[in-house]
Amino acid sequence: MKRYGSKHVFRTLAWRMISMGILMGAIFPIVAIQMGVSPELAISPAFIGTTLTAGLIVGGLNFALASRTIRPRLRRLNRRMREVRATVGQATGSGDWLESDPAIFQLQEQAKDEFGEVVSSFNALLLALHSAQRAEKRIQSFSHTLTSQLDLDELSDQALALLIKHSAADGGAIILEKQGDWLIPTSKGLVKPEFILNSPALQVGYEQASIRRFDLSAAGEDEGSIGVALSRLATREVLLLPITHHKVLLGWVVLATAESFGERTLRLLPMKIQGLGLALNNALLHDDLQRVAALDPLTGLYNRRFGMARLDDELTRIQRSQAPLSLLIIDLDDFKRLNDSYGHLAGDKMLVHVAGTIRELLRAGDVVMRYGGEEFIVILPGSGLEEARKVAERIRVAISQSQVQVVGHSLSVTASLGVACSSDDGISTAEPLLRLADSRLYAAKSGGRDRVIADGAGKVLSS
């Protein structure tokens, strides 16, 4: 393949200009004859030699002039390109791009000719390279920030804040699929983000898992619920961006703006969402592992270790708010006899049934754990002793009235409950609170079982 470096180009240019000069010198005698010069003079060796020499000189002068005009500009461009290449190579190795500012390497060219266009293209290329490097650095920083975070709520909040900042959006939300349900772990600037979950636009998105862009100035029926969620914002456009990991849909990013999303933003957002998909997948796996580690494998309630940690957390929290906290210890009566008579499978089925019965009678903020064997503990944040006694009584009645079918037998159990309250009993730490509730449970057992004890004297409050 023929090369066209600057050296070869100027060598070719020199030969062509000199050859052109010699050719003009050779043709000139013929032209001179046509102009009236005598043929004897025109074809004389001296005349021909003079015209050839003149043509050679003119060709050489033209080459020298062109070389003096163009060569320095080409050398300057070439030198600058070498500097850029060296700087980019060094920055790629070190990761430090501070010295790669395009303003340092840009060329100034006043001419409007083809060379001026080349310089303009070179400067534009520098700007494009710098812009691409900045975009890549942002994406890397975004991904690094998120992948270092495993707490699902904090990750979602951090990711949404960065996406809103980088896209210049006015608000947004993150929607995730967790254990079969769609939920919104975080939102910013939206009035009623929960309305988005019921939007027909999102329902279509579940099936297509593709980027969707809505112009709310001409919103149709599908965008109605999104419009309600953003009703207090001067929103013009909304983006729905699917969050996927290995082609599995994990959730959605919703972004809203009063302006229009720029084309550059639309190009970069999907690349950032890829990093978010990996981070969220890791956080969801971590969340599942944490949840599994915290649960009793038989009943699905919190296990003793995690439940006790929650008790310490709740006691710390109520000390700040000066609110009461009550604790119930529930023990199934004569459970060993049920196991011995009908087997451990029947006992396990009864434990699962009782766990579900207790859970159904509690509030969303209450905590229930399997303390061990056939014992359960219920933590009631914000509940005083009398309110806790009523909850304990409802649990006692529900357990005694329910039955479990096991191999042709209808089995039932009763339960004894001890109740203690942090404020009524003047207790602020877990161990004495547990000890008091356990002593009242023992009083309930000693008093005939199937009853609730909630005072220090061991008085039977119900039976």
Q: Which residues are catalytic?
A: 374
Helix crossing, 385-401 with 344-360: angle to 10°? 140
Specify whether the CB–CB gap between 253 and 172 falls below 8 A: yes
Q: Token pair of 35, please?
A: 């102009």
Which amino acid, residue 315? L
How far is the CA of 73 from the CAs of 3, 68, 88, 163, in angstroms? 20, 9, 23, 45
Closest CA to 239 of 248, 226, 228: 226
> In whole angstroms, what is the distance from residue 192 CA to residue 233 CA?
11
Closest CA to 286 of 178, 404, 166, 395: 178
Which amino acid, residue 172? G
Q: For the purposes of burial, counting CB atoms within 10 Å of the CB of 276, is it exposed (0-12), middle (13-18) or buried (19 or more)?
A: buried
Alpha helices (H) along 190-303: 200-208, 224-229, 263-294
DSSP character for 259? Answer: S
> In whole angstroms, what is the distance from residue 186 CA to residue 175 CA?
8
Q: For the purposes of burial, counting CB atoms within 10 Å of the CB of 433, is it exposed (0-12), middle (13-18) or buried (19 or more)?
A: buried
Specify whether the CB–CB gap between 101 and 130 falls below 8 A: yes
Taking CA 44 as the corner, what is the angle to CA 39 and CA 50, rounded to the nearest 5 degrees?
115
As a whole number of Å, the end-to-end CA separation of the chain is 102
Specify whether the CB–CB gap between 342 and 291 falls below 8 A: no
> In whole angstroms, what is the distance from residue 149 CA to residue 154 CA?
8
**In the chain, helix, strand, coil percent, each to 5?**
60, 15, 25
Beta-bridge partners for 214: 238
